[in-house]
Amino acid sequence: MLQQILYSFLPLLFLVASCSERGTDSSQAEFTEEQALVNIDTAGLSKATFAGGCFWCTEAYFERLEGVEAVISGYSGGTKPNPTYSEVSAGSTNYAESVQVYYNPDKISFSELVEVFFATHDPTTLNRQGPDIGKQYRSIAFYRTPEEKKIIVDYINKLEQSGAYQNDIVTSVEPFKKFWQAEEYHQDYYERNPNDPYVTSVARPKVQKFESNYHNKLKSEYMN
C-alpha cells in the first residue's frame, strides 16, 4: 500500500529534532493573506485546508501538485485571534499547524487533495507526527461544504475497510471556520531552508518519496 511505503522511513523521525524546536522567532508582524498571495491570481480557485503535522512538510507536498496554485502555512482549529507560532508550538492554544491550499478544480479535484493528505502523514497517531508531539500536530481534514465532508468521510471509510493501517484512523473531520497565516519565515520553509537539519533529515526524504509515488501528478518543474 502507498501509505505503508511512505511510512517505511518513519523510525528516522525519532532521531532528529522536532519542528517545534526551530524557527521560534515570533517577533514578526502578522503575515496577511494578501502578502502571501501577492503574485497569485486567485480568481476561479477553490480552497482546501488540512492539518497533518509540521506545516513545513505539508506545504511542500501540496505545492508540487499540478493544479495547485498556492499553499500557505498557518493555524486552524482554534479560537484565539492572531495566534503566534510560539503560542501554537507551545500547545497553549487549540490550533493545529495547517496549510491552506488554493487549487484549480479544473486541474485537480478535492478528492485528489484528500488522497494526498492521507498518504503524506500518519492519520492513526493522536496528537503526534513522528517526533512532533502535541495537539498542534493533530490530524484534521476541514470541509467547507456537505459534499466535501462526504468525500472525506467516504475516503476514511475506504481506508479503514482496506486494512491500510493496523490502528484506527483518528483524523478529525471538522467544518472550516478560520485560518490564520503563519509568520512570513514559515512560508516556503522547505525551499528556502534546504540545509536546515529538520529539512535534510525528515522533510527531504518524505518529499522525495512523495515525488516518486505521485510523479504523474507533479508540476513539470518537479519531474526529475
Cell 486552524 maps to which residue?
Answer: 76
Cα separation of 41 and 57, whole Å?
24
CB-based contacts of 96: which residues, under 8 Å, 6+ apart?
Answer: 51, 75, 76, 77, 78, 88, 135, 136, 137, 138, 140
Q: Which position among 13, 19, 48, 54 bears the catalytic label?
A: 54
The CB density around residue 120, as the number of other CB atoms within 10 Å, is 25
Tell me if residue 57 is catalytic: no
- Look up residue 54 and give its three cell numbers: 509540521
Cα separation of 44 and 22, whole Å?
36
Least Cα distance to 115 among 167, 163, 152, 161 occurs for 152
Give the torsion through C-alpha atoms of 103, 106, 107, 112, to 10 deg.
70
Catalytic residues: 54
